[in-house]
Amino acid sequence: MRAVETLSADILILGGGGAGTLAALHASNRPGLKVVVAVKGLLGKSGCTRMVQGGYNAVLHPDDSIERHFLDTLRGGAFINDQELVWILVNRAPQMVAELENRYGCFFDRNPDGTIHQKPFGGQTFDRTVHRGDLTGIEIMERLRTALLARDSVLVLEEHRAVGLLRDRGQGRVCGAVLLNIRRGTFTVVQARATLLATGGGPTMYRMATPSREKSLDGIVLAYQAGALLMDMEMVQFHPTALVVPGSELNGAVLEEGLRGAGAHLLNSLGERFMARYDPDRMERSTRDIVSRACYLEITAGRGTPGGGVWLDISHLGRATVEALFPGMVERTRAAGFDLATGPVEVCPAAHFIMGGVVIDESCHTTIPGLYAAGEDAAGVQGANRLGGNGVAESTVFGALAGDVMAEEVVGTPRLEPDPHEVEAHIEAATGPLRRDAGEDVYGLLDRLRELMWAKVGVVRNRSGLEAALAELAELKERAARVKTQKAAPAFNLEWQQALNLRSLVAASELVAASALYRTESRGAHYREDFPDQDDENWLCNVTAVRAEGGLRLEKRPARLSRINPLVGERRQ
Amino acid sequence: MNGRGRTVRVARTAPDGRRYYEDFRVPLGPQTTILDALLYIHRHLDRTLAFRYACRQAMCGTCGVRVNGVERLACYTLLGAVPGRVVTVEPLRHLPVIRDLVVDFGPFFRAWAAIRPAFVPADNDGAEPARIRPDDPDRRVIDRHRECISCGLCYSACDVVGTRPGFPGPAALNHALCLVLDRRDGAGPDRLKPIDGPEGCWACHGLLACSNVCPKGLDPTGAIEDLKRLVAFGRRRNGVAV
């Protein structure tokens, strides 16, 4: 048994992106609470809020309306969103934009009259996306990180990842987590009255994937293993325009949606604007699910580029315009050997975001007392497909909400003792790869997982592929449990981190594949070629997933149509 | 090894803390970056190699290293474009090394904290974002100095940081200018206090090392010159904003 440090906190926040930092800022508004933030990388620098390019959807213009943003989000999500969560999102997003500006000092781009500029994004009936150039996440996260570091009551543990949640033996309440200090290779047990999952998803178990490289769906898997209810795990978003850069880590880097909003064309190898076949009205400004599927089908039909993608071309706007509107994107394509300003760029769909996750209520409670979730770790806000610009809105709005709720609720909550056997078991499992003298190679298994998920649980799915994938995943899971990593250098042991990432990704992949097999229709990002139509009669539902005796239990649950029912078009409120 | 390749010489840390260099042969493709080379070494040649990265697209600012003595982001530096026979990769300067290429950014962020970097709202209850035109003179100056990703390359490149431990460094002072000129900020004249003095902006000798290495094309030296004018003359000379 290794030496273990222990810490005690009122609130433990797992994650230091948009959701985590805002939760910590809001929680620490209440004096006297001790808040601990554990982040897998460096605060505000790892994770995906940092990587936000296009921007932030919020209703600011008098000609726009909350109801329109609400409906756009539901339509984008194919109506299985939790309507109460969406209502919170659209109502609070404008306040959060003001908070980011007025309290933390963010500054978004302006119109000539000094009001905030908003640009067009896919699937939206109004130009609603607030931005700072085409690298909006840097502006947001640099300000939030700086604001948080000025709070004395907040302890930030950088390069600490959670390896297991802790529950007390009596009530089954979550009372903290076991953290691995990546820099030193040691463990810290944090006992907390409230624990927030804000690790930010990140479906990196696909050959092409856009998220920051350290992400591995940790929060969702931790919640599942602790027994929390999940849903919509089959809903993995593929961003349609990720750069194709074979042989480089830059492969899968996103080119932002604003390009399509500004009039970029998608072309196949025959030079056809193929979106005319898939969504003739909206063309390239269609939603991400439809555009990704179109790209994928063109590629598999043999009309792809030499590198296995399609062409994205915005050069008809003129070099000067493209350079002025999308400086970050131009630089990125030049780094990859293309030039967005003067010609077409090779792009391909890539796994980008998971709409599914931990079920929460309107106060970010999960189904386990003491455990909260916000941002990409949570489900329900985005339904079956997320609109571009709604991701950072979700993480900031719900992160702040969770911070407020936890600060309120921890007062008077008893301090419960973690079960020492559970602590021991989490550490035992996490250190497995260091104890073996022989075993599986982590990189070989990661490669195999990524190819498998891409081929059989990706943009287009079918029953036989999903069944084969589940069988292979069971084998991969066993082999992942036998991985051996180097132990000569325990501090900053990257191979060990990869082994823990693999463990999490395989567990998440099983949830995705099983949920995808269960949903026998096509909706949003989930496309079954054996059930190609949307079936509202039977499937206006969420697929819930929970760990039960004998393994995973999946169930159908009617979507929460508390405000509008798409089948009758009736507005109840 | 078949085909094209390059020798990459990596600064390592022995278990007893001693520093040494180790050479690795890495295949070279047209888009191979320094980060790709490090990932290749880790996977195929030495699993104990330690380095840091996250976004792999020049947004997170965590993969800074020195390549043949010059500060670069590993993810945005093409291996084939580095001149010389051997490509030497070392950790950033002026920061403690945790292991191999991984540094502790503690001193960099403590220096950042020394200029009181957090925004102080002038109007605590401002319900609406401020109306500020894009052609506002102060904004045009601020805009030239934003999009810092706090990667620490300038801090490593700055010789003054190495010789004067109290100097906050280029990134922090660059950020300070953005706050001083921000009319939404309510800290007022207090903003200039930690910046004035021999360990503040006056310690900068305008060597331009920071501006030379900034991966975002920012000009911290220029920002520090603006700060000096503000400290010396205030706004009345219009030395900055116009």
| A334 at interface of B, judged by CB pairs closer than 8 A | no
- pLDDT computed for residue B126 by the predictor: 66
- In this predicted model, what pLDDT tens digit does every residue of A120-156 receive, in sequence order? 988 999 999 999 998 899 999 999 999 999 999 999 9
**Res. A568: pLDDT tops 70:** yes
CATH class of the structural domain A420-544: mainly alpha
- In this predicted model, what pLDDT tens digit does every residue of A437-474 receive, in sequence order? 999 999 999 999 999 999 999 999 999 999 999 999 99
| A161 at interface of B, judged by CB pairs closer than 8 A | no
Q: How far apart are CA A386 and CA A354, in angstroms?
A: 9
- The CATH number of the domain holding residue B227 is 1.10.1060.10
| Interval A17-32 mean pLDDT | 97
Percent of chain A residues past pLDDT 70, beyond the cut: 99
Q: Are residues B87 and B119 in the same domain?
A: no
Using an 8 Å CB-CB cutoff, list chain A residues near B75.
249-250
Q: Are the Cβ atoms of B118 and A491 closer than 8 angstroms?
A: no
| Interval A310-326 mean pLDDT | 96
- pLDDT computed for residue B123 by the predictor: 74
Q: Are the Cβ atoms of B99 and A98 closer than 8 angstroms?
A: no
- The CATH number of the domain holding residue B31 is 3.10.20.30
Contact criterion met (CB below 8 Å) for B152 and B92: yes
Q: How far apart are CA A308 and CA A369, in angstroms?
A: 47
- pLDDT computed for residue A170 by the predictor: 84
* Catalytic residue status for A239: yes
Measure in Å the smallest separation between the Cα of A503 and chain B Cα atoms.
18
- pLDDT computed for residue A573 by the predictor: 44
Q: What's the domain range around B112? A: 106-233
- In this predicted model, what pLDDT tens digit does every residue of A34-90 receive, in sequence order? 999 999 999 999 999 999 988 999 999 999 999 999 999 999 999 999 999 999 999
Q: Are the Cβ atoms of A492 and B100 closer than 8 angstroms?
A: yes
**Res. B239: pLDDT tops 70:** no
Q: Are residues B89 and B138 in the same domain?
A: no
Contact criterion met (CB below 8 Å) for A258 and A56: no
For chain B, the average pLDDT equals 92
| B62 at interface of A, judged by CB pairs closer than 8 A | yes
Q: Considering only alpha carbons, which residue of chain B is nearest residue A103?
A: B121
Q: Are residues B82 and B110 in the same domain?
A: no
Residue A194 pairs in a beta bridge with: A11
**Res. A571: pLDDT tops 90:** no
**Res. A326: pLDDT tops 60:** yes
- pTM for this one? 0.96
For chain A, the average pLDDT equals 96
Q: How far apart are CA A199 and CA A21, in angstroms?
A: 11
Measure in Å the smallest separation between the Cα of B90 and chain A Cα atoms.
16
Q: Name the A residues in 511-570 with CB < 8 Å from any B CB.
A: none
Q: Are residues B30 and B51 in the same domain?
A: yes
Q: Are residues B183 and B97 in the same domain?
A: no
User: Does residue B117 lie within any of the structural domains?
Assistant: yes
A and B: number of Cβ contacts within 8 A? 175
Selection from A288, A352, A289, A360 nearest residue A544 by Cα:
A360
User: Does residue B241 lie within any of the structural domains?
Assistant: no
Using an 8 Å CB-CB cutoff, list chain A residues near B131.
113-115
| Interval B44-73 mean pLDDT | 97
User: Does residue B225 lie within any of the structural domains?
Assistant: yes
Q: Name the A residues in 44-73 with CB < 8 Å from any B CB.
A: 45-47, 50-51
Distance of CA A93 to the CA centre of its chain: 18
| A492 at interface of B, judged by CB pairs closer than 8 A | yes
From B43, B48, B98, residue closest to A443, measured CB to CB: B43
| B132 at interface of A, judged by CB pairs closer than 8 A | yes
Contact criterion met (CB below 8 Å) for A329 and A256: yes
- pLDDT computed for residue B197 by the predictor: 86
Q: A255: pLDDT confidence band, cut at 50, 70 and 90?
A: very high
**Res. A201: pLDDT tops 50:** yes
Residue A207 pairs in a beta bridge with: none
Selection from A124, A117, A395, A63 nearest residue A257 by Cα:
A124
Q: Which of A111-115, A244-248, A381-385, A510-514 has the lowest mean pLDDT?
A: A244-248
Count of domains forming chain B: 2
| A339 at interface of B, judged by CB pairs closer than 8 A | no
Q: Are residues B110 and B194 in the same domain?
A: yes
- pLDDT computed for residue B79 by the predictor: 96
| Interval A242-248 mean pLDDT | 92
Q: Are residues B13 and B89 in the same domain?
A: yes
Selection from A389, A366, A102 nearest residue A231 by Cα:
A366
Last residue of a domain, which of B103, B138, B157? B103
User: Does residue B221 lie within any of the structural domains?
Assistant: yes
Q: Are residues B25 and B85 in the same domain?
A: yes
Q: Are the Cβ atoms of A98 and B126 closer than 8 angstroms?
A: yes
- In this predicted model, what pLDDT tens digit does every residue of B60-110 receive, in sequence order? 999 999 999 999 999 999 999 999 999 999 999 999 999 999 999 999 999
- In this predicted model, what pLDDT tens digit does every residue of B99-143 receive, in sequence order? 999 999 999 999 999 999 999 998 766 678 999 999 999 999 999
* Catalytic residue status for A117: no
- pLDDT computed for residue A153 by the predictor: 93
Q: Are residues B91 and B121 in the same domain?
A: no
CA A58 to each of CA A21, A94, A110, B217: distance values in angstroms, whole numbers, following the listed order: 20, 5, 15, 31
Q: Are the Cβ atoms of B57 and A41 closer than 8 angstroms?
A: no
From A104, A110, A246, residue closest to B132, measured CB to CB: A110
Q: Are the Cβ atoms of A149 and B49 closer than 8 angstroms?
A: no
User: Does residue B31 lie within any of the structural domains?
Assistant: yes
Q: Which of A83-92, A334-343, A383-392, A499-508 has the lowest mean pLDDT?
A: A334-343
Percent of chain A residues past pLDDT 90, beyond the cut: 93
Q: Are the Cβ atoms of A494 and B35 closer than 8 angstroms?
A: no
- pLDDT computed for residue B122 by the predictor: 87
Q: Are the Cβ atoms of B33 and A46 closer than 8 angstroms?
A: no
Last residue of a domain, which of B57, B73, B103? B103
| Interval A423-438 mean pLDDT | 96
Percent of chain B residues past pLDDT 90, beyond the cut: 84
- pLDDT computed for residue A411 by the predictor: 93
Q: A313: pLDDT confidence band, cut at 50, 70 and 90?
A: very high
User: Does residue B133 lie within any of the structural domains?
Assistant: yes
| A248 at interface of B, judged by CB pairs closer than 8 A | yes
**Res. B158: pLDDT tops 90:** yes
Selection from A54, A51, A89, A94 nearest residue A72 by Cα:
A89
| A137 at interface of B, judged by CB pairs closer than 8 A | yes
Selection from B113, B62, B34 nearest residue A138 by Cα:
B62
Domain ranges of chain A: 239-350, 420-544
Among A92, A173, A260, A503, the active-site one is A260
Q: Considering only alpha carbons, which residue of chain B is nearest residue A48?
A: B55
Q: Considering only alpha carbons, which residue of chain B is nearest residue A112?
A: B133
Which of A49, A107, A159 to probe by mutation at the B interface, max B CB count within 10 Å? Answer: A107
- The four Cα atoms A239, A243, A248, A249 give a dihedral, to 10 degrees, of -40
Q: Strand A154-158 and strand A160-167: pairing?
A: unpaired
Q: A2: pLDDT confidence band, cut at 50, 70 and 90?
A: low
| Interval B217-221 mean pLDDT | 97
User: Does residue B238 lie within any of the structural domains?
Assistant: no
- In this predicted model, what pLDDT tens digit does every residue of B3-43 receive, in sequence order? 589 999 999 999 999 999 999 999 999 999 999 999 999 99
Measure in Å the smallest separation between the Cα of B25 and chain A Cα atoms.
16
| B187 at interface of A, judged by CB pairs closer than 8 A | no
**Res. A479: pLDDT tops 50:** yes
- In this predicted model, what pLDDT tens digit does every residue of A337-361 receive, in sequence order? 899 999 999 999 999 999 999 999 9
From B52, B116, B121, residue closest to A102, measured CB to CB: B121
Q: Strand A570-571 and strand A564-565: pairing?
A: antiparallel
- pLDDT computed for residue A134 by the predictor: 87
Range A239-350 has CATH code 3.20.20.120: no
Using an 8 Å CB-CB cutoff, list chain B residues near A108.
129
